[in-house]
Amino acid sequence: MLEKVNKPSDIKGFSQEELKELAKDMRTALMQKLSKRGGHFGPNFGMVEAIIAMHYVFDSPNDKFVFDVSHQAYCHKMLTGRKEAFLDEEHYYDVSGYTNPAESEHDFFNVGHTSTSVSLASGLAKARDLLQKKENIIAVIGDGSLSGGEALEGLDFAAELQSNLIIIVNDNEMSIAENHGGLYQNLKALRESNGTCSNNLFKAMGLDYIYQECGNDIAAMIETLQKVKDIDHPIVVHIHTKKGKGYKVAEENKEDWHYCAPFDKESGKQFSYNEEEDYEVLTNHYLLNKMKQDPAVVAVVAAVPTNIGFTEEKRKLAGKQFVDVGIAEEHAVAMVSGIAKNGGKPVFATYSSFIQRTYDQISQDLCINQNPATILVNGASVYGMNDVTHLGIFDIPLLSNIPNLVYLAPTSKKEYLSMLDWSIDQSTYPVAIRIPGNGVVDDHRDVDKDYSQLNRYKVEKVGNTIAVLGLGSFYQLAEEVCMMLKECFHIDATLINPRYISGLDTALLDELKANHKLVLTFEDGILDGGFGQKIASYYGMDDMKVQTYGLAKSFVDRYDVSSLLKENGMDLANIKEQIELWLTNN
Amino acid sequence: MLEKVNKPSDIKGFSQEELKELAKDMRTALMQKLSKRGGHFGPNFGMVEAIIAMHYVFDSPNDKFVFDVSHQAYCHKMLTGRKEAFLDEEHYYDVSGYTNPAESEHDFFNVGHTSTSVSLASGLAKARDLLQKKENIIAVIGDGSLSGGEALEGLDFAAELQSNLIIIVNDNEMSIAENHGGLYQNLKALRESNGTCSNNLFKAMGLDYIYQECGNDIAAMIETLQKVKDIDHPIVVHIHTKKGKGYKVAEENKEDWHYCAPFDKESGKQFSYNEEEDYEVLTNHYLLNKMKQDPAVVAVVAAVPTNIGFTEEKRKLAGKQFVDVGIAEEHAVAMVSGIAKNGGKPVFATYSSFIQRTYDQISQDLCINQNPATILVNGASVYGMNDVTHLGIFDIPLLSNIPNLVYLAPTSKKEYLSMLDWSIDQSTYPVAIRIPGNGVVDDHRDVDKDYSQLNRYKVEKVGNTIAVLGLGSFYQLAEEVCMMLKECFHIDATLINPRYISGLDTALLDELKANHKLVLTFEDGILDGGFGQKIASYYGMDDMKVQTYGLAKSFVDRYDVSSLLKENGMDLANIKEQIELWLTNN
């Protein structure tokens, strides 16, 4: 049946049996692609029937769907002219893993962060009303996204809209891991009472509400959606689906199958990307050990526990010294500030892309108050996630310009663990640590134990003429550059490990003037507002020349790392050329 | 009675009559100070009884109060050793307008942004539990703060805490203006049913709940708080108070009396700070006019309608073309992205300090999607609010380093209105405009109508040797510097109005090299991550010298503008000295 579908209207004439056939075909396609390429398994397998029903009842793109996170939109893509990307291996990479307006008029937003759909849909609805148009606006939200502040703000506001807005709450009983937060108790009570229990969260927010227990039944879903089509006010359609539906292994291990690596279909064994030592496991091992020694230590995550290795087993080991607040980064940061204020030693860890959700809390709740909490920033690198919505290259301008925050950039495993240990036990500064994104480097350089004298850069190799500053995960690139300078130009460059992203070692920078003429800076992120520009500005009135290396300010998407580095002049050949040019002019 | 209180325990022995006397004294002190100095009137007058009861029942600082926004904590200050700051005019400025740990052990956080108290208090409670201490943790939240995402995340999480946490919801039926959002309908229903109506929001979040209708009755409040003292799980204590209680004018005009200017006690007439033309009124006048011509134009605010002049009267004029989303900046930005996507022309306005709450939505919901919404950034200046929690000096690094966002810095009334008009009607870029913070300048310089060719700086006066770049509200300072250069050094400097904060005019910067040796940059905010550092970095490999002027990265508090500018080297005498030094060395 899927072969027959080129646009949503193609399914409007299908019988119930044909729609069921279609669902089967779509799951087969999902299974085939995901077993080969990996992807968001559970969210998509759970939403097959709901998405078929949505396209059967509504008229996309006139009626408009907004998918939260949009990791559950694979089937929507199949029905809107993009089925080849799931049926033909050669076209697998034609589509992104999220909705994407560049791909189709049926997609309205590039979405990858959670909790945004109700607000975005409210905007579509408001514009429709202003322009006196008629159309259904449908937001789809689920997978733990409801606990995010933006989603709750959106629900609260929606009640005031007084016009058509259909909010499908896809309740699969899960976030990435298990759900956290009181509202999920309410969803459970609603499921168990077929939507009739007292203290309905959505009604309490001022919204109309209906419940559909059979979210994986096409006929039931069609009937429910037909009831709400063209409704004249906002309504929540709470549907109960099964995450990973149709693949037993995934149904039974929902957390492991939220996102999957390529896997063997028969055994359900995922092929792990690599077996090397990684910072997730290292951090976890360190923290569990530290927790045993000190009951004040507590690890906090916002729905991504495995970003610091807290699998279900490790969470049990940590007990009350581990907190998953659910998708609620703002709350997490304010809470760790409170924990630190009252004598605890909190470590909050999340991805660089998600730390963006909590700028104000880092500034106001944490840094103005100067409470000694530790924040671990994961995936902060060109080597991190490469979808446009999940880039890890903006945290340096974001965090390093907040007063009072000490932002550290370790360059090796030893240095990372040493900084983490110092940070947890000190009681003076809010500290963020940028976990190296270039793999675990275990070299023989000595590292300091104490980082309380701020902004002292480490000279790893004394030289002259050129000083190379390699920040964090680009330290090893700086090492390579120094070797190239020696080999190609017989220059013994000075190699510096800045360690502190958030401040300048002005004494060292002044010293360099004596026998250096050029400073090269390397940082693993965008240049604008970052580290190198501070160095260049510091030397603004001096004769010292400064060349900064990093990425241009841009929303890059699904890039190849070495190509991107090359485009931004960070290949050795280009650096060599620039040095040659400089030498010629001097 | 107030004279007898030096610490909270002093009131423990007071009779009910004495406590009432105390309340009267406290209102008299508030009235006296606020009529002379201005301040948060409504929130404090409404909370007198509740705060007395809190200190009567609990043992601060062992029991810990966390006040949301903390603009309602004046009476808390009076009872915790700081009464002189309200009784003695000479000591009025001894205390800040918010809780402040530097002032007293009874204050746990510097707080000024809304919606943070439940999360901060959760942190205090979590640390208490980890360290096996016993104490009551009490969060106070109200004045519209509940609709903020961080507050809702906090409430949702609190249900999981399984230990003592008392959340006092101060329901005075108001935000700064009227409340917005469906949850306030629920509070209304709860008030009207004495806390018994169905679909209780707090219970739906998994929290225990009690209601007290008489929030301005000390005895009733004491009784209620005694019930929840030492409770072993989180509970919401919903209290009904009257904002501005005890001053008829304020009770009847709650919005005008949320914050008051100095006023005449008899007539209730507030002395307006100035009668000059301001950007709030100008923006409002422009927008109302534009709305009449174009039904797609819609103004959006997050609980601060008057920041663009939308008084109650003007809100009525705008009708459906005005939206106050309540305290919900994240939702506001995502919503305007949706509005723009569906053909509307949205303008969202808030203060620089509050735009911080929505970095991720600006990046993800708006800029990745490149939707043509307009954001007005108000109070973004050293001349803005000067409390440490409300500084307007961090938005340049925050916003100008987000890809795709065009951040404009007008230098005059004409230029501002022209940029605003262009931004609303164009359909290519997300645009933010930094409303000048240095008062309305109405000069005779021509301004462009079209800003679609990005990053073209305007040379306002052609000169040589030194180029002076005056960004936005520091353009006039740059003008003064040029005059000084002429007078003192006979240098005809080139004067440049950069206009675009978010990008470099590389062609112009290259041209300058021909007959300029020094570039001075002026920006009204912190230097780190900002505009000048980009200029300095651009010239990093050239002989051009660059001196950047702006503020050091620091959380300054209640500063005097001219002293702060002088400390940061931005007085003409220092600039002159630096030029002299440069001339000597060249």
Q: What is the mean pLDDT of residues B208-224?
A: 98
The CA-atom distances, in angstroms, between A69 and each of A113, A116, A294 are: 5, 8, 38
Which one of B67, B99, B164, B331 would you mutate to disrupt binding with A, by most A Cβ within 10 Å of its Cβ? B331
pLDDT single digits (tens) B184-204: 999 999 999 999 999 999 999
- CB within 8 Å of chain A, chain B residues 507-536: 526-530, 532-534, 536
**Contact at 8 Å (CB) between B264 and B35?**
yes
Provide, rounded to the nearest whole percent, the portion of chain B with pLDDT above 70.
99
Q: What is the mean pLDDT of residues B357-368?
A: 98
> What is the model's pLDDT at position B586?
81
Q: What is the mean pLDDT of residues A473-498?
A: 98
A308 vs A305: CA distance, rounded Å: 6
Which one of B62, B114, B118, B120 would you mutate to disrupt binding with A, by most A Cβ within 10 Å of its Cβ? B120
A176 pLDDT above the threshold of 80 = no
Calculate the CA B167 to chain-centre distance.
Answer: 24
**Lowest mean pLDDT across A122-126, A303-307, B460-464:** A303-307
**Contact at 8 Å (CB) between B336 and B346?**
yes
pLDDT single digits (tens) A212-228: 999 999 999 999 999 99
A179 pLDDT above the threshold of 90 = no
> What is the model's pLDDT at position A273?
60
> What is the model's pLDDT at position B13?
95
Q: State the DSSP H helix or E strand holding residue A506, giving kind and residue range, or none if neither.
A: helix A506-512
B182–A157: do the CB atoms touch at under 8 Å?
A: yes
Q: State the DSSP H helix or E strand holding residue B384, giving kind and residue range, or none if neither.
A: none
pLDDT single digits (tens) B133-170: 999 999 999 988 999 999 999 999 999 999 999 999 99
> What is the model's pLDDT at position A120?
98
CB atoms inside a 10 Å sphere around CB A425: 14
Helix axes B182-192, A149-158, angle to 10 degrees: 70
> What is the model's pLDDT at position B349?
98
- CB within 8 Å of chain A, chain B residues 236-275: none
> What is the model's pLDDT at position A13?
95
> What is the model's pLDDT at position A275?
65
What tokens appear for A318 in the block? 């940590």
pLDDT single digits (tens) A101-146: 999 999 999 999 999 999 999 999 999 999 999 999 999 999 889 9
B338–A122: do the CB atoms touch at under 8 Å?
A: yes
Report chain B's mean pLDDT, rounded to a whole number.
96
pLDDT single digits (tens) B259-309: 999 999 999 999 876 667 899 999 999 999 999 999 999 999 999 999 999
A546–B541: do the CB atoms touch at under 8 Å?
A: yes
A272 pLDDT above the threshold of 90 = no
A263-264 and A234-240 beta bridge pairing: unpaired
Q: Looking at residue B490, what DSSP letter applies?
A: -
CB atoms inside a 10 Å sphere around CB A308: 26
Alpha helices in A301-412 (DSSP H): 312-318, 329-341, 352-355, 359-360, 395-400
Among residues B255, B270, B258, which one has the least CA distance to residue B312? B255
> What is the model's pLDDT at position B273?
60
> What is the model's pLDDT at position A178?
82
B364–A205: do the CB atoms touch at under 8 Å?
A: no
A159–B153: do the CB atoms touch at under 8 Å?
A: no
Q: What is the mean pLDDT of residues B376-397?
A: 97
- Specify the pTM: 0.97
> What is the model's pLDDT at position A175?
77
What ipTM is given for this predicted complex?
0.97
Report chain A's mean pLDDT, rounded to a whole number.
96
Strands (E), B352-395: 374-378
B540–A534: do the CB atoms touch at under 8 Å?
A: no
Q: Looking at residue A431, what DSSP letter applies?
A: E
**Contact at 8 Å (CB) between A76 and A98?**
no
For chain B, helix, strand, coil in percent to 5 are 45, 15, 40
CA distance A332 to chain B (A): 8
pLDDT single digits (tens) B223-247: 999 999 999 999 999 999 999 999 9
Provide, rounded to the nearest whole percent, the portion of chain A with pLDDT above 90.
96
Cα torsion angle, A344, A150, A229, A201, sign: positive
Q: Which of B127, B183, B360 sits opposite A338 (nearest CB)?
A: B127
Higher-pLDDT residue of A143 and B60 is: B60
A529–B397: do the CB atoms touch at under 8 Å?
A: yes
> What is the model's pLDDT at position B274?
63
Q: What is the mean pLDDT of residues A364-392?
A: 97
Confidence of residue B76 (pLDDT cuts 50, 70, 90): very high
Confidence of residue B351 (pLDDT cuts 50, 70, 90): very high
pLDDT single digits (tens) A333-344: 999 999 999 999
